[in-house]
Chains A and B, each alone.
Chain A
Amino acid sequence: MSKISRRLFTGLAAASVGTLAFPSISLGAVPRVVVIGGGAGGATAARYIAKDSGGAVHVTLVEASKRYYTCFFSNIYLGGFRNYGSIGHNYYGLAVNQGVNVVHEWAVSVDPATRMVKLGSGNYISYDKLVISPGIDLKYDSINGYSAGVQDQMPHAWKSGTQVQLLRNQVMNMKQGGTFVMVPPPNPYRCPPGPYERVSMIAHQFKQSNPTAKIVILDPKPKFSKQGLFEAGWQKHYPGMIEWISSEDHGGLKNVNASTMEFETDLDTFKADAACVVPAQKAGAIAMAAGVNNGDWCPIVPASMQSQADENIYVLGDASVAKSMPKSGFSANSQAKVAANHIRGALTGSKVFDARYSNTCWSLIAPDDDVKVGASYVAGAEAIDVESKFISQADDSSETRAANYQESIDWYNGITADMFS
């Protein structure tokens, strides 16, 4: 190799592991995986493919945020049990420990025919296999009167980040004896028990700083996840503070007005002093741009998490139709491991094992009163089928509930290390 070509080669190699990406550069036989989205699905997939392939696969993670705030445990922050910084994570571990090429940009489009991802900078990255794990986008227009323009008056706080801090501030500053209105989303949505854990955590805060406050839940659904456990917990810890109103009783939310903070239903018009409004949801925009969606969500092959639309694309987490798994960080992390094993097998010939999935969701109702629900799953022909499941019992001892909370803290430490270290 001449001096000039060696210098050129070195420069190009440096470019390929930096933020630049040239489709014309071939790394020879090293296959390329691009992962879009650095949450529980994407970060886990990038980490496992890089870690387990030991350099045999080149992995690029495309994630716009340099610091990622987890949606899970954001309610624990809302309740005052953790500080905001403790739910933030960076991507240094993936870059330094695992050799993942981390690119902090938006992915704006995907061309499945040429296997290219276009970035916000205008650069392109080529892939052999693509993982799309973008989480959710909000359907603001699913509620009359709600929009991105009023999300600061009525935070959804459903994608973590600054919206959650805003909601915490509004809870802390609500007038004494005021009314807080919570509007949970319709099914299907990210984190089924999340709205009800959120109400519990806000009630816990009010109990200390605003004990005559009221919380009204205007639910678009007639029932919800862990309903019996939550309602018993509210009765025990926050008697008289929380009123859950089923869609069957209020007849549907007709309109919200962010200037007057009014919520109009058939039953009544509710006036709020602070509110959290979570609209309906759909797969993140890049999934639509890649054409792997069918309507709002992306159908997958249960045995591999491959898109039903394109065998070179895998869709993980909230964006996928992973029936019967709930949309949760735990589910996304579990799905990522199945996809990572399948992708490595396809690219390097490593052994592909049968898909197996699991999920557990812990929900904190009050200090040391934590309930959990979980299931294990196998890949069926049509769907990801439940193999076995469990749920906390109404007559659990207080020791069990307290142990559940300790367990959830360890899970948080475990899963975030499993994503980012």
Chain B
Amino acid sequence: MKILLFVIFLLTSFCKFAFSDEQQIIAMGDIEYGEYLGAECAACHLQTGVSEGGIPAINGMDAEVFVALMLAYRSKEMENPVMQMIAGRLDDEQIGSLALYFSKLEPPK
């Protein structure tokens, strides 16, 4: 819930611009690169359904939400040392590529 509220806050705070930071980052993305980078995510984020614990499914996630979350982990505004480490070394192009790739996947049932 905390994550959701944070994302809504991030999204609404950017909506006054014609092109948000998220959209600019998504525009830098390359889906083939996203597929390669996304393999790292698949080590923990279940690709075949929804798991029961604390790691959310990311397949089919809205690209702008994806970017907002990754930026928040990269800047350490959101907690979780694994995600801070993973996001910490991604540049904007890489985040945009991942957002594009995962947004195109079928969401889990």
Q: Which residues does A use to contact B, with CB under 8 Å?
A: 48, 52, 330, 333-334, 337, 341, 351, 353, 356, 358, 360, 372, 374-376, 387-390, 392, 403, 405-411, 413-415, 417-418, 421
Is B11 on the interface with A (CB-CB < 8 A)?
A: no
Shortest C-beta distance, A40 to chain B (Å), equals 10
Shortest C-beta distance, B35 to chain A (Å), equals 7
Q: What mask results when residues 73 to 84 of chain B are scored 1 for a CB within 8 Å of chain A, else 0?
A: 000000001101
Contact status A337-B40, CB under 8 Å: yes
Q: What mask results when residues 30 to 66 of chain B are scored 1 for a CB within 8 Å of chain A, else 0?
A: 0011011101101111111001111100000000000
Contact status A410-B81, CB under 8 Å: no
Which of B32, B33, B45 contacts A414 (CB under 8 A)? B45
Number of interface residues of B (CB under 8 A): 26
* Given known contacts A52-B35, A411-B55, A414-B42, A390 and B82 CB-to-CB distance under 8 angstroms: yes
Which residues from B are CB-within-8-Å of A409?
A: 51-53
Contact status A407-B85, CB under 8 Å: no
12 residue pairs from A and B, CB less than 8 Å apart: A48-B39, A337-B40, A372-B81, A403-B54, A405-B53, A406-B54, A407-B55, A410-B44, A410-B51, A411-B43, A411-B44, A418-B42
* Given known contacts A390-B81, A421-B48, A410 and B43 CB-to-CB distance under 8 angstroms: no
Q: Is the interface of A mostly helix, strand, loop or mixed?
A: helix
* Given known contacts A410-B52, A410-B55, A372 and B44 CB-to-CB distance under 8 angstroms: no
Which of A334, A351, A392 contacts B43 (CB under 8 A)? A334
Is B107 on the interface with A (CB-CB < 8 A)?
A: no
- CA–CA, A356 to B44, complex, Å? 16
In the complex, what residue of chain B is closest to A419 when comparing beta carbons?
B43
* Given known contacts A374-B81, A388-B85, A390-B81, A358 and B40 CB-to-CB distance under 8 angstroms: yes
Contact status B53-A388, CB under 8 Å: no
- CA–CA, A358 to B89, complex, Å? 11
| Interface residues in B1-43 (C-beta closer than 8 Å to A) | 32-33, 35-37, 39-40, 42-43
* Given known contacts A337-B39, A337-B40, A390-B84, A410 and B32 CB-to-CB distance under 8 angstroms: no
* Given known contacts A374-B82, A374-B85, A410 and B35 CB-to-CB distance under 8 angstroms: no
- CA–CA, A411 to B89, complex, Å? 21
Shortest C-beta distance, B38 to chain A (Å), equals 10
In the complex, what residue of chain A is closest to B55 when comparing beta carbons?
A410
Which residues from B are CB-within-8-Å of A360?
A: 44, 82
- CA–CA, A333 to B45, complex, Å? 14
- CA–CA, A173 to B55, complex, Å? 37
Which residues from B are CB-within-8-Å of A408?
A: 53
Contact status B85-A376, CB under 8 Å: yes
Which residues from A are CB-within-8-Å of B48?
A: 417, 421
Contact status B43-A414, CB under 8 Å: yes
- CA–CA, A75 to B44, complex, Å? 19
Contact status A407-B53, CB under 8 Å: yes
Which residues from A are CB-within-8-Å of B89?
A: 356, 376, 387-388
Which residues from A are CB-within-8-Å of B42?
A: 414, 418
- CA–CA, A278 to B84, complex, Å? 35
